[in-house]
Amino acid sequence: MNRKYFGTDGIRGRVGQSPITADFVLRLAHAVGRVLKRTEDKPTVLIGKDTRISGYMLESALESGFNSAGVNVVLLGPLPTPGVAYLTRAQRASLGVVISASHNPFDDNGIKFFSAQGSKLSDAWELDVEAVLDEAPVWADSANLGKTKRLDDAAGRYIEFCKSTFSNELTLKGLKIVVDAAHGAAYHIAPKVFHELGAEVIAIGCAPDGLNINHEVGATHPDALVRAVRANKADYGIALDGDADRLQLVDVSGRLFNGDELLYLMVDDRLRQGEKIQGVVGTLMTNMAVELALQKRGIAFVRSKVGDRYVLEELEKQQWILGGEGSGHLLALDKHTTGDGLVSALQVLQTCVRSGRSMDELLSDVTLFPQTLINVRLRPDQKWQDNPRLHEESKKVEAELGQTGRVLIRASGTEPLVRVMVEARDQHQAESGARRIAATLQ
């Protein structure tokens, strides 16, 4: 069955337009509360948010919806998505809720959920919630309404958790690090994590005003980080997105490393410590060079659908611990139950500090294949899957690439876009192939 509201990462859209309206979000929380009450008499949910101005409105709507179904609420305030996942598990809550549209502009927002174990919920659970949304509400009577309280030290608890994932034998002393929190949920957390581990921290993108989240800063706009690293002669630069679950990293030269390279570095550190890594999960977008480099070291590699939830599902299926996406969503399941930009950054820095080598040196055997990605915006009535020119041109490009590249065409799970990606050993071939395929949709 197709989901009506849920995409690849919760429910997301433009604020004030369906489904991101106060009345719908209230009904959503009420429906989720009713699903929770099937197995628990008095559930408790935690609610965290990023720094968008609409977070106040949506937080109030969620609170009312849950309380009306007889569910207790704990408000965490601004907190990274992985921080909500961690506290949901640590506080033995029934569910974690995040109000965020991740890397999107401020006038978008969204709602996503975590299980009691701090992991993403299944498609089946989301379908169950959507079925209850279609039913009439069942309001709790006055004596059985839920209550709400605030967890005042949520940020401090999460800071200590992040620090605990970095080796006790190592320190960041002597390193100068630029930290860019995208004016998002980690603005008051990320600088403290690296400072308390010994680094000299230069903070940018840490002054949210409700309207500037992800605006020309953060993981989706890394130019600001590159400039700051060079201007301050810093050793590293770390950029997070609005909800701090994805990561971009820059070295002293200003070179930007993507998530595929950072995943390889996390694997490399484990291997250097004598750990046995049976396999790694990437996605359909993961660069072929990383796949080949891992296979050369005897490590199996499996691709999932795009989206960190699908990487997680495949990791659990394979019973492996390391996986991620080129966008910077990285998973280390022996450290956290979900992707965490801060934890991932610490894992990569740990690799460099422990080895005494730079990221560039550690990646000497990995030369990324050029990839060209073109996003084609769809008309509301456009049925791109039925386009014969698209299929014909895709087959032509694939035949030209042979075994030296790939073609990937997929719909965005969060926006009305089709993403066309062509990967090849030759940059010109990748660009030409992607343009030819995208032209059939425009």
Same domain, 29 and 109: yes
Shared domain for 323 and 376, answered yes or no, is no
3-state secondary structure 270-299: HHHCCCCCCEEEEECCCCHHHHHHHHHCCC
- Kindly state whether residue 4 falls inside one of the protein's structural domains: no
Task: Kindly state the average pLDDT of the residues 57-75.
Answer: 98
Kindly state whether residues 209 and 132 are assigned to the same domain.
no
Other C-beta atoms closer than 10 Å to the C-beta of 87 total 23
Q: HEC string of 8-30?
A: CCEEEEECCCCCCCHHHHHHHHH
Torsion on CA atoms 245, 251, 257, 261, rounded to nearest 10: -90
Identify the band that residue 411 occupies on the pLDDT scale cut at 50, 70 and 90.
Answer: confident
My answer on whether 293 and 193 are in the same domain is: no
**Can you tell me the distance from the alpha carbon of 260 to that of 213, in angstroms, rounded to the nearest whole number?**
25
Query: Exposed, middle or buried: residue 174 (CB in 10 Å: 0-12, 13-18, 19+)?
Result: exposed
The pLDDT assigned to 13 comes to 95
Please state, rounded to an integer, the average pLDDT across all residues of the chain: 95
**Whole-number pLDDT of residue 281:** 98
pLDDT at 1: 60
Structural domain including 427 reads 371-439
Domain count for the chain, please give it.
4
Q: Which helix (H) or strand (E) holds 377?
A: strand 371-377
Q: What is the mean pLDDT of residues 86-90?
A: 98
Asked if residue 171 and residue 148 are part of one domain, the reply reads no
Q: What are residue 48's DSSP bridge partners?
A: 77, 98
Domain presence at residue 1? no
Question: Kind and range of the H or E element at 431?
Answer: helix 427-439
33 and 99 housed in the same domain: yes
Confidence class for position 3, pLDDT limits 50, 70, 90: confident
CA-nearest of 200, 395, 425 to 292 is: 425
CA 280 to chain centre: 18
CA atoms within 13 A of residue 354's CA, in its CB half-sphere: 19
Q: Please check whether residues 142 and 28 belong to one and the same domain.
A: yes
Q: Which residues pair with 303 in a beta bridge?
A: 282
Per-residue pLDDT, 442: 84
Contact 226, 237 (CB under 8 A): yes
Q: What whole-number distance in Å separates Cα of residue 274 and Cα of residue 294? A: 16
> How confident is the model over 197-222, as pLDDT tens digits?
999 999 999 999 999 999 999 999 99
Residue 53 CB neighbour total at 10 angstroms: 15
**Same-domain pairing of 324 and 408:** no
Is residue 304 located within the same domain as residue 203?
Answer: no
Position 54, amino acid: S
- How far apart (Å, rounded) are the C-alpha atoms in residues 360 and 366? 10
d(CA 83, CA 242): 13
Res 301: pLDDT: 97
- Active-site residue flag, 102: yes
Q: How far is CA 246 from CA 153, 239, 242, 262, 417, in A?
A: 24, 8, 9, 11, 21
Q: Is the separation of the CB atoms in 49 and 77 below 8 Å? A: yes
| Residue 103 belongs to a domain | yes
Which residue, 344, 362, 380, sits at the end of a domain? 362
Asked if residue 2 belongs to a domain, the reply is no
On whether the pTM is more than 0.85, the answer is: yes
Check whether 413 has a pLDDT greater than 80: no
Q: Percent of the chain having pLDDT more than 70? A: 99
- Local confidence band at 7 (pLDDT 50, 70, 90 cut-offs): confident
Q: Which among 50, 108, 118, 104 is positioned nearest to 80, based on CA atoms?
A: 50
Question: Which among 152, 180, 214 is the end of a domain?
Answer: 152
Domain holding 145: CATH number? 3.40.120.10
| % of the chain exceeding 90 in pLDDT | 88
Q: Same domain for 404 and 355?
A: no
Pairing between strand 108-114 and 11-14? antiparallel
How many angstroms separate the CA atoms of 147 and 64, rounded? 10
Q: Would 58 be classed as within a structural domain?
A: yes
End residue of a domain, out of 220, 255, 290 = 255
Listed in sequence order, the DSSP H helices in 165-302 are: 190-196, 223-232, 259-272, 288-296
Domain shared by 24 and 147, yes or no: yes
Helix or strand or coil: residue 49? strand
pLDDT of residue 365: 86
Q: Which residues of 315-327 are buried (b: 16+ CB within 10 A; e: fewer)?
A: beebebbbbbbbb
pLDDT for 367-397, tens place per residue? 999 999 999 998 887 888 889 999 999 999 9
Mean pLDDT of 348-357: 96
308 confidence band (pLDDT: 50, 70, 90): confident
Q: Is residue 5 part of a domain?
A: no
Strand duo 200-204 + 108-114: pairing: unpaired
Q: Are strands 95-99 and 44-49 parallel, antiparallel or unpaired?
A: parallel
pLDDT number for residue 414: 67
Average pLDDT for 270-295: 94
Token couple for 341: 């930009």
> Residue 357 above 80 pLDDT?
yes
Residues 221 and 334 in one domain: no
What value does the mean pLDDT take over residues 407-425?
A: 88
Residue 392 belongs to some domain of the structure? yes
Residue 173: inside a domain, yes or no? yes
What pLDDT is stored for residue 412 in this prediction?
82
Q: What is the pLDDT of residues 168-184, one digit of tens each?
A: 999 999 999 999 999 99
19 preceded by a cis bond (ω within 30 of 0): yes
Predicted confidence at residue 272, as pLDDT, reads 93
Q: Using alpha carbons only, what angle is made at residue 228 by residues 225 and 230, rounded to the nearest 5 degrees?
A: 110
Q: Which of 102, 115, 327, 344 is catalytic?
A: 102
